[in-house]
Structure 1
Amino acid sequence: MGRKGLLVLLLILALIGAGTWFAFAQLGEATIEEDTAFIIPSGASVSAVADKLEAEGLVSSADGFILTARLFGSSEPIQAGEFRLAAGMSQSQILEKFQSGDVIRRFVTVPEGMPSIMVWERLMAEELLTGEIDVPSEGSILPDTYFFERGQSRAELVERMQAAMDRYLAEAWAKRAPDIAVDTMREALILASIVEKETGKPSERRMVAGLYSNRVRQGMLLQADPTIIYPITKGKPLGRRIRQSEIAAVNGYNTYTRVGLPEGPITNPGRESIAAVLDPADTSALFMVADGTGGHVFADTLEEHNANVAEWYALRRERGEM
């Protein structure tokens, strides 16, 4: 190559270098120094997002981010939500994150047996949710862990919780054992709420469900203490011993004065309690009393039950509880 050709080549390379420098200068750069949460409102355009990035000091130029989006972005739209931008991310990486919809998800847990008044309190206390809600219908919420995004409405989250209960109850009902003690999904939900409150021991659920199923079939009083408490506290802990006047109270829930099931659920039962009611243990037990370990002793006859109660009282006296 002659001297003239070499000069032309050097000139071309210089022009390419200058053009590259100019292009990258126009593109700007990301300036994220530490992990940062960034919110894209619903319906925001690329231009609006770019202006917000620049205003929050996360890119050096809004115009540069827009140019990056045009040159290097995919055809996917930018998603709304809250995103976590990592320190040192490039503009292309930021854009890819926005287009992927990889939003920050937060979680709220409804434990098995949490009554609706406490679900309501938990959701109202979550500051990142929006909007007012009424206390959900008792038994309508499926206990589980649910994700949500910043700014999501409480009403939308409750609808998702209730839809989950409707789906699970329908699926479980379709698989129910033959000749169970309840005739409808509503009755199954009510009985499951009693089973949920009567035992905290998973291995006992089917046995407790079998016992109460026997009582329902025989037209006996269910005599479930949680049904006394529910009209008083809406399912919250009573915090004291039940009074005789409360045991004798006549209302739609108290199964010491009401034959059959309460008029409605007394909590939000979990999957296992619902499944237990729909496939209870094959037992002839009609009575149970606490055994001091968190579980119960079961009995077929009142005589056996009275003996078990005497042992339970003796244990409580030994512990100084009576």
Structure 2
Amino acid sequence: MAGGCRRAIGISLGVLLAVLLLAGGVAAWGWNHYQRFADAPAWTGEPASVRIERGDGLRTVLARLRQAGVVAGHDLEWRLLARELDAAGRLKVGEYALEPGITPRELLRRMRDGRVIHYRVTIVEGWNFRQLRAALAAAEPLLHEATDLDDAALMAALGHPGQHPEGRFLPETYLYQRGDSDLDILRRAYAAMEQALAEAWANRAPDTPLRSPEEALILASIVEKETGQAHERPQIAGVFSRRLQKGMLLQTDPTVIYGMGSAYDGNIRKRDLATDTPYNTYTRPGLPPTPIAMPGRAALHAAVNPAPGDALYFVSRNDGSHVFSATYAEHNRAVDCYQRRRNCPPRAEAEPQQ
């Protein structure tokens, strides 16, 4: 009888061992399968995206992934992986890229860390506000909340009622995500310009004729429109600063063009220079009443730190650069040469930039 008990115990131990070995094998197979799932591509199609909305839990996110075409893994494996990554309950709202080759592990990490898809919109130096509004209206997938607002209503929506919008937004490239609006971009660009202008004004030359940051912004906008050559900005600012100090008319075409508005057809004529508007610096002294464009940081710096010298005039060489002159006689000779193409001294066309 004792022998029978020993045989029964031996059989039971054998069965138990077999079960344990089988369970261990299944567990090892399951673990390997889970690891392959976590680190194998979950998406092999064309680039796409999936969104997490406010209030979405992991179950909803998984349903969105399935709807998008993600077939990798069982939902249980996704839940286990989310727990392993401490992502369950911490998925951030936003739009996430489904890139070819992305793994479930990397996708959940992005969702946990809020690494959403970012889009770009660029405000170009020298743009006016009309051009900025057109660029924002064309930007996708930006929400367009300002489309039906006129300029005054738009500035009120930004929290600056009664302020003219021209020149108030810093030219830069701004990142945004799906769900952001044009007003969000404008708020950021406005704050960036306020900061850039304050920094420039704090570092202004002690002998500047400008009396306020507002005047600095206006002059910077003129400098921005007068030249596309970065090294010339301080020289251009120097000419206008000396003219302001001497009480001379600024006589700058970009302000006249701005004052013409939609009447400007690409050409500026003598009658345009003689037609008085608040922005005609041939007929009115001092700076115009508002900026005429959006200046960049370099133009802001140049406006408050003009280059020293005695030049009071400049004329375009028609290649983006300018000739600077200290006297009206010198200026007329430069105009004859570079604009009228006559009376050029030998090798004038090859003059180095001043």
TM (norm. structure 2) is 0.80
Residue from 253, 268, 272 that aligns with 1:246: 272
Q: Secondary structure, in 3 states, of the residue corresponding to 2:145?
A: coil
Query: 1:241-263, CA deviations, whole angstroms, 9 ceiling, x for partnerless residues?
Result: 21333212222111111100000
Contact 2:255–2:280 at 8 Å: present in 1 too?
Answer: yes
1:220 partnered with 2:268: no
Query: 1:105-127, CA deviations, whole angstroms, 9 ceiling, x for partnerless residues?
Result: 12111121111111110110112
Matches within 5 A, 1:164-203: 164-203=192-231
Report the equivalent of 2:313: 287
Residue from 119, 141, 144 that aligns with 1:131: 144
Residue from 110, 121, 126 that aligns with 2:134: 121
> Which structure 2 residue ranges, 5 or more long, are not aligned?
1-9, 156-164, 345-354
Partner amino acid, structure 2, of 1:282: P
Contact 1:50–1:63 at 8 Å: present in 2 too?
Answer: no
Report the equivalent of 1:265: 291
Q: Provide the C-alpha distance between the structure 1 equivalents of 2:87 and 2:214, rounded to a whole number of angstroms.
A: 50
Contact 1:292–1:315 at 8 Å: present in 2 too?
Answer: no
In structure 2, relative to structure 1, the CA distance for the partners of 1:178 and 1:67 (3 Å cut) is same
Q: Provide the C-alpha distance between the structure 2 equivalents of 1:293 and 1:172, rounded to a whole number of angstroms.
A: 29
Q: Provide the C-alpha distance between the structure 2 equivalents of 1:299 and 1:90, rounded to a whole number of angstroms.
A: 65
Aligned length: 315
Report the equivalent of 1:147: 175
1:229 partnered with 2:257: yes
- Greater shift, 97-106 or 50-59, is seen at 50-59
Q: Provide the C-alpha distance between the structure 2 equivalents of 1:316 and 1:167, rounded to a whole number of angstroms.
A: 47
Contact 2:337–2:343 at 8 Å: present in 1 too?
Answer: no
Report the equivalent of 1:305: 331
Contact 1:81–1:150 at 8 Å: present in 2 too?
Answer: yes
Q: Provide the C-alpha distance between the structure 2 equivalents of 1:95 and 1:175, rounded to a whole number of angstroms.
A: 47
Q: Secondary structure, in 3 states, of the residue corresponding to 1:315?
A: coil
Shift of 1:4: 6.2
Partner amino acid, structure 1, of 2:130: I
Report the equivalent of 1:65: 78
In structure 2, relative to structure 1, the CA distance for the partners of 1:243 and 1:67 (3 Å cut) is same
Report the equivalent of 1:15: 23
Q: Provide the C-alpha distance between the structure 2 equivalents of 1:69 and 1:21, rounded to a whole number of angstroms.
A: 20
Q: Percent identity?
A: 37
Q: Provide the C-alpha distance between the structure 1 equivalents of 2:142 and 2:24, rounded to a whole number of angstroms.
A: 52
Q: Secondary structure, in 3 states, of the residue corresponding to 1:283?
A: coil
Report the equivalent of 2:93: 80
1:41 partnered with 2:53: yes
In structure 2, relative to structure 1, the CA distance for the partners of 1:226 and 1:92 (3 Å cut) is same
In structure 2, relative to structure 1, the CA distance for the partners of 1:243 and 1:265 (3 Å cut) is same
In structure 2, relative to structure 1, the CA distance for the partners of 1:89 and 1:314 (3 Å cut) is closer
Q: Provide the C-alpha distance between the structure 1 equivalents of 2:112 and 2:210, rounded to a whole number of angstroms.
A: 50
Contact 1:28–1:61 at 8 Å: present in 2 too?
Answer: no
Q: Provide the C-alpha distance between the structure 2 equivalents of 1:154 and 1:297, rounded to a whole number of angstroms.
A: 41
In structure 2, relative to structure 1, the CA distance for the partners of 1:302 and 1:14 (3 Å cut) is same
Q: Provide the C-alpha distance between the structure 1 equivalents of 2:268 and 2:257, rounded to a whole number of angstroms.
A: 8
> Which structure 1 residue ranges, 5 or more long, are not aligned?
none
Partner amino acid, structure 2, of 1:166: E
Shift of 1:52: 1.1
Contact 2:96–2:115 at 8 Å: present in 1 too?
Answer: yes
Q: Provide the C-alpha distance between the structure 1 equivalents of 2:35 and 2:74, rounded to a whole number of angstroms.
A: 8
Partner amino acid, structure 1, of 2:121: V
In structure 2, relative to structure 1, the CA distance for the partners of 1:304 and 1:131 (3 Å cut) is same
Partner amino acid, structure 2, of 1:117: R
Contact 1:141–1:165 at 8 Å: present in 2 too?
Answer: yes
In structure 2, relative to structure 1, the CA distance for the partners of 1:312 and 1:56 (3 Å cut) is closer
Residue from 102, 119, 123 that aligns with 1:106: 119
In structure 2, relative to structure 1, the CA distance for the partners of 1:316 and 1:165 (3 Å cut) is farther
Q: Provide the C-alpha distance between the structure 1 equivalents of 2:42 and 2:217, rounded to a whole number of angstroms.
A: 55
Shift of 1:277: 0.9
In structure 2, relative to structure 1, the CA distance for the partners of 1:292 and 1:18 (3 Å cut) is closer
In structure 2, relative to structure 1, the CA distance for the partners of 1:21 and 1:285 (3 Å cut) is same
Q: Provide the C-alpha distance between the structure 1 equivalents of 2:298 and 2:101, rounded to a whole number of angstroms.
A: 47
Q: Provide the C-alpha distance between the structure 1 equivalents of 2:227 and 2:85, rounded to a whole number of angstroms.
A: 59
